[in-house]
Structure 1
Amino acid sequence: MTDFAARRRTMVDTQIRPSDVTKFPIIDAMLTVKRENFVPDAQREAAYVEGVLDLGDGRCLLEPRTLAKMLDILNISNDEAVLDIAPALGYSTAVAARMAQLVVAVEQDESLAAEAQNVLMEAEADNAIVHVGPFEEGAAEHGPYDVIMIQGGVEHAPETLIAQLKDHGRIACLFVEGALGTVRIGHKSGDRVTWRDAFNANAPILQAFSTNRVFSL
């Protein structure tokens, strides 16, 4: 029988701590949340490998290092509301739920959303809810939010999401340009978001956040 608890410890010791992520709530969450339960059954053995886990149909599970560094910079506190976009089966939601007051996961695939809600309940993430709807529309009825994060690559951050961010809130996006990806953190002040580069990472671009290019001859 696979010792997933040992694999979680190894993930934290070899992927998270070496990335200069040392905040106790993040380390504790990643040691506690059973990542193997948040992937399709056929991929349980690969749940703790380093790198992006391809879930098919352009969806992925961000590599543990990327999620941990995002959370480190976002610095979620236990009185804050988080909007988690495209979490698939909800791993990122479950991790964030151990730090935040409320996490709202937006999943547009109805079957994934239903399964995510069940897995989150089993993980006792009672402060997490799954909202079914288009990624780019967020979940305004549960907002506004202190923190927004997107579980996949983007080419742009839609104004519909930024509008759901509180004044002085933070948003984390993995912007992909060609073969290069950079996680940027945006800080909202009034109606304006100021972005800064945080670290390099990569992931498939979510179709909802790809830029439609018009080519002319």
Structure 2
Amino acid sequence: MSELAEARRQMVASQVRPADVTDRRLQDAMLAIPRERFLPRSMAGSAYADMEIDLGEGRRFMRPRDFAKLVQAAGVKAGDLVLDLACGRGYSTAILSRLCETVIGIESSESFASKAEGALSDVGADNAVIVTGDVKKGAPEQGPFDVILVNGAVEIVPDAWLSQLAENGRLAVIVRENGVGRAKIYTRKDGVVGSRAVFDSMTSVLPGFEREPEFSL
């Protein structure tokens, strides 16, 4: 077993499983997909560290623990159509491709989107598509979606995301409120969207998703 393969196994054994991530399909996907392939070569040694990884352009790889818990909370099923927002270099899209029928990754950075396409091809994610576009708008022409996953925290959840949920669809996102981050699952049921908090997380806020400061006289 290579050094990176052993690091990947250790990531699942020491970071993911102890965080109550019991979904074996998700564990298997994280064991199978080489996380380092979705990073610059100079960062390969940090691929399996228990931390966020700075990708540049204000973007970060989520901690493996937080990412795994968020995906598990979304309850991705084999027949689901999934929207992967702010997919970066495509790691999240690759993992989701192992869990669902089709996944569409939306990425605002053309350079990240190009890297994601190449990496997804390398790992054989034939049911994954990367689209360069406005993350805030989602992909209304491709929906509605059974699952929408957001790779990073937000201070405001755009209405556009909620409107693209199918009946019983789930939006999994970390919401930062008053400095506290909580992973939330928004679910559409009978046309009404409700939410529940599932765990705390200090995942970094995505650029452009900060709340406007309020001014008082």
TM range (shorter): over 0.9
1:159-186 residue CA offsets vs partner (Å, 9 max, x unmatched): 1111111011001110112442110111
Paired with 2:198 and 2:205, the residues of 1 have a C-alpha distance of 18
Query: What amino acid is aligned across from residue 94 of structure 1 in structure 2?
Result: A
Which stretch of the first structure deviates more once superposed, 64-73 or 5-14?
A: 64-73
1:125-180 residue CA offsets vs partner (Å, 9 max, x unmatched): 00000011011011122211000010011011111111111011001110112442
Alignment length, in residue pairs?
Answer: 217
Give unmatched runs, 5+ long, in structure 1: none
Is 1:135 matched with 2:135? yes
Query: What amino acid is aligned across from residue 67 of structure 1 in structure 2?
Result: F
Is 1:50 matched with 2:50? yes
Deviation at 1:214, TM superposition (A): 4.0
Query: What amino acid is aligned across from residue 158 of structure 2 in structure 1?
Result: P
Contact 1:106 1:133 (8 Å CA) reproduced:
yes
> Structure 1 length normalisation: TM-score?
0.95
The alignment partner of 1:212 has SS state of coil
Determine what percentage of the aligned residue pairs are the same residue.
37
Deviation at 1:209, TM superposition (A): 2.2
Deviation at 1:213, TM superposition (A): 2.5
Paired with 2:31 and 2:2, the residues of 1 have a C-alpha distance of 16
Contact 1:135 1:208 (8 Å CA) reproduced:
no
Contact 1:58 1:204 (8 Å CA) reproduced:
no
Question: What is the aligned partner in structure 1 of residue 116 from structure 2?
Answer: 116
Deviation at 1:73, TM superposition (A): 1.5
Contact 1:170 1:188 (8 Å CA) reproduced:
yes
Question: What is the aligned partner in structure 2 of residue 187 from structure 1?
Answer: 187
Is 1:75 matched with 2:84? no
Give unmatched runs, 5+ long, in structure 2: none
Query: What amino acid is aligned across from residue 149 of structure 1 in structure 2?
Result: L
Pair 192,156 (structure 1): closer, same or farther in 2 beyond 3 Å: farther
Question: What is the aligned partner in structure 2 of residue 154 from structure 1?
Answer: 154
Pair 178,55 (structure 1): closer, same or farther in 2 beyond 3 Å: farther
Paired with 1:142 and 1:131, the residues of 2 have a C-alpha distance of 11
* RMSD of Structure 2 on Structure 1 (CA): 1.5
Question: What is the aligned partner in structure 2 of residue 197 from structure 1?
Answer: 197
Paired with 2:48 and 2:161, the residues of 1 have a C-alpha distance of 30
The alignment partner of 1:48 has SS state of coil
